[in-house]
Every structure is written in C-alpha cells, then in structure tokens.
Amino acid sequence: MNLEYPEDLKYLDSHEYVRLDGEIATIGISAFALDQLGDIVFVELPDISEALEKGSTFGTIESVKAVEDLYAPISGTIVERNNEVIEAPELIGDDPYGEGWLLKVRVNDPDELEEAMSANEYRAQVEGE
C-alpha cells in the first residue's frame, strides 16, 4: 500500500497529525495508523469548547482489530468536531487528511509543535528507513 504523508502536516509518535492554519489546528490520524488498524468502526470525540492538553488522551478510535486512544498533539480549545466521522467512521479511512479529520482546536501555543515530526521524519520512522 502506498501511504501518503502530506508535507504541510506535523506528525506525532502516536500517529496523530496536525495541520496548523493560523491559530486553528486540524487534528486527525495518519494513513499509516489507519493501515495498521484496519477498518474503523467507531470513534469517540470530546465536545466543542473542551480544553485539550498536549499529550493527554482526547478520545478513542476503534477498528475491527483494536481500540486505540487518541492523543492531543497540541494544547488548545476545541472549536469544531467532525460529527460526520462519528456517524460514518469509515470516512476516516477513506480520506484521513481531508473529510476524515477529527477535531479543530484554537491553539494556545504553536511552539508546542516544534517537537512534532515533519512528513519525511515521520515516513522514515514508520517505514523503518
């Protein structure tokens, strides 16, 4: 399978990604993680206006193989939640970097992303290069 890692994203060891647009961060899960998990059957996400702390869990994603915690890649306040993926979790697998995003967060400190990996660093880690 040819996995994509868009260059405009930052990635975490726990396989979440962040797309920072001004002070809003879109958070989702990488194609690599989805490849490992298989078909997504359920996702649990927090409510709008809840605060996220970098490194803390913010929900779960369940596949036919496993249930995995989701970890916040950055601290901030949830401004939008993708209710479509709650209703139709397969959207995450179909388009993880587009329609399959999970949360949008108003970021407290964008410098928190300095520890996150670039697309090339993440690819090298997950593909064992």
Segments in 38-89 forming alpha helices (H):
83-87
Q: Determine the pLDDT at residue 69.
A: 97
pLDDT at residue 127, rounded to an integer: 87
pLDDT in tens, the chain (129 residues): 468 899 999 999 999 999 999 999 999 999 999 999 999 999 999 999 999 999 999 999 999 999 999 999 999 999 999 999 999 999 999 999 999 999 999 999 999 999 999 999 999 999 885
Structural domains of the chain ordered from first start: 9-122 (2.40.50.100)
d(CA 49, CA 103): 11
Give me the phi and psi of 45, to 5 degrees please: -125, 150
